[in-house]
Chain A
C-alpha cells in the first residue's frame, strides 16, 4: 500500500484519539507510545534516555580527565592548592588526546539525543520535558566548553608565560 511511518502515525492518532479524547492527553500518549513502539520494534524509551544520559556522562568524564593533566593543575596552583603530588597528574598527559577524542565522540551521540526535534521525543527521553531538556542542554554546552578550552588553551598559553 505504500504507507510511510508518518502515515501510520496519523492513522493511529485518529483511531486512538477518537475513543480517548475525553480521557486526557496522558492516557492517549502512553497508549500511542506503546502501539508505535510495538510497530517500530524499537527499544523502550527508558533505554534511549539512558543512552542520552550515558553519552553526556561519558563525554563529561572524558573531558574532565582531559583537563586533569594541564588545566586542572593550573587552576589548583592559582588558588593555592598546589602540591608536590601534582607531578602525578602529568603522567596523564600522553593520554590527553585519547580522552579528548572519546569526549568528542560521546558528545556527538549526546547531541543527537538531546537536540532531537520535539516531535521525535518520547516520554522518558532526555529530550522530552522542556525543563529537563534545558538542563541537559546546559550540561552539554558546559562539557563542550571544557573540551574547547582544553583544545585551545595550548595556543593561548604562551601569552601567560
Chain B
C-alpha cells in the first residue's frame, strides 16, 4: 500500500495536468472546392464527425471552414484528412 502511494499521487496529478493542457484550438481551413450550395454542409458534417472536434462551421462565400477542436484528441492533419476523405481537399489558411 505504502509503495503504491506516491506513484498513485503522481498519476492523478499527471491526469489532471493533461486535462488542463487540452485547450480548445481554432483553425481556419481553406476549402476551395466548396462550390455547391450543400457543399459547406457536407464539410461541416465530415469535420464534426472527427473525435475531438468541438465545433465546425463552413462558409460558401469565403470557401473556408473554421474548426474549434481539442488539440489533445485531434490535430490539423486529421481535419484535413477528414475533408479530403469526402472529396474536398483543404489546406490551412495562412
Chain A residues in contact with chain B, CB under 8 A? 69-71, 73-74, 77-78, 80, 82-90, 93, 153-154, 157-158, 160-161
Contacts and interface: CB of A to CB of B under 8 A. Distances in A.
Contacts of B38: 70-71, 73-74, 153-154, 157
Contacts of A154: 37-38
A70 B36 contact: yes
A78 B45 contact: yes
Given A84-B87, A85-B87, A87-B87, A161 B41 contact: yes
A87 B88 contact: yes
14 contacts: A70-B36, A74-B42, A77-B45, A84-B84, A84-B85, A87-B87, A88-B87, A153-B37, A153-B38, A157-B38, A157-B40, A160-B40, A161-B59, A161-B60
Interface of B: 33, 35-42, 44-46, 49, 57-60, 84-88
A90 B45 contact: no
A102 to B, nearest CB: 19
A77 B37 contact: no
Contact of B44 (A73, A82, A161): A161
A78 B39 CA distance: 12
Contacts, number: 67
Contacts of A80: 49
Given A77-B46, A78-B45, A158 B60 contact: yes
A14 to B, nearest CB: 61
B57 to A, nearest CB: 6
Contacts of B60: 158, 161
Contacts of A69: 36
Contact of B86 (A71, A86, A93, A153): A86
B36 to A, nearest CB: 5
A155 to B, nearest CB: 8
A67 to B, nearest CB: 10
A88 to B, nearest CB: 8
Given A73-B42, A77-B46, A93 B35 contact: yes
